Amino acid sequence: MTLHCPHPEFAGRQRLLDGIDAALQASDTHVAVARIQRVLEQAIRDPQIVLPACVHAPLHGHYARREIYRSPQHGYSIIAMTWGPGQGTPLHDHDGLWCVEGVWQGTLEITPYRMLERDGERYRFAPRDCLQGCKGSAGNLIPPDEFHTLRNSDAERIAISVHVYQSVMERSHVFQPIGDAPRWYARECRELGLDA
């Protein structure tokens, strides 16, 4: 499903975009991503930046992915995700793209994973410490450290997060546990869509 309005206008949008564009002037990926993380943290606290109304509507059955901007000059994509109570992701990667993620509203449980080994089409992971992402917090993923899960653990309230991807993320690899094997997973490629 695609958005009816692919890039909705919202208050303060240009302030956010100017900050990301300036951060991308760094020649080093780690420096640029760290700068974008600071931009996103500041944007969440900035009362002049107000996300479009559509991102406050959860969907039944899965979290919502709504593209709110795509840069024609730099190629990055900004996705707002709306997490209904208890909604989350399986263990997944970002298809080799860096990403900066910030919690705009509510709280998310974020569990990063470290790949320990690969045996053919089986992958073994170890979870790292679970992080509680609350409003105003942000983090980043830079490959090869790109494996994690996200979940809204609140039983009543929605959470909203904003994700700045290196480019349009059209697919992701999802890792599902294999039977009773401890921490071994099978990988499957999933196409990612956008919600209205």
Over the stretch 77-106, which tens digit does the pLDDT of each residue have? Answer: 999 999 999 999 999 999 999 999 999 999
Q: What is the pTM of this model?
A: 0.93
Calculate the alpha carbon distances from 126 to 22, 98, 123, 145, 187 in Å.
36, 21, 10, 12, 15
148 in a labelled binding site: yes
> DSSP string covering 115-135, please?
EEEEETTEEEEEE---EEEET
pLDDT attached to residue 1: 35
Please tell me the distance from the alpha carbon of residue 181 to that of residue 179, in angstroms, as a whole number: 6
Q: Which residue has the higher pLDDT, 183 or 152?
A: 152
Q: Is 92 annotated as ligand-binding?
A: yes
pLDDT band at 3 (very low <50, low <70, confident <90, very high): very low
Per cent of the chain over pLDDT 90 is: 91
Structural tokens at position 180? 């009773």
pLDDT of residue 6: 63
Residue ranges and CATH numbers for the domains of the chain are 13-191 (2.60.120.10)
Residue 39's H or E segment, with its range, is: helix 29-45
Query: Residue 196's pLDDT is what?
Result: 79
Q: Which residues contact 192 (CB under 8 A, 6 or more apart)?
A: 65, 169, 170, 171, 172
What would the mean pLDDT of 4-32 be, rounded to a whole number?
A: 90
Q: Is 90 exceeded by the pLDDT of residue 9?
A: no
- pLDDT tens digits for range 26-82: 999 999 999 999 999 999 999 999 999 999 999 999 999 999 999 999 999 999 999
In this prediction, residues 103-127 reach a mean pLDDT of 94
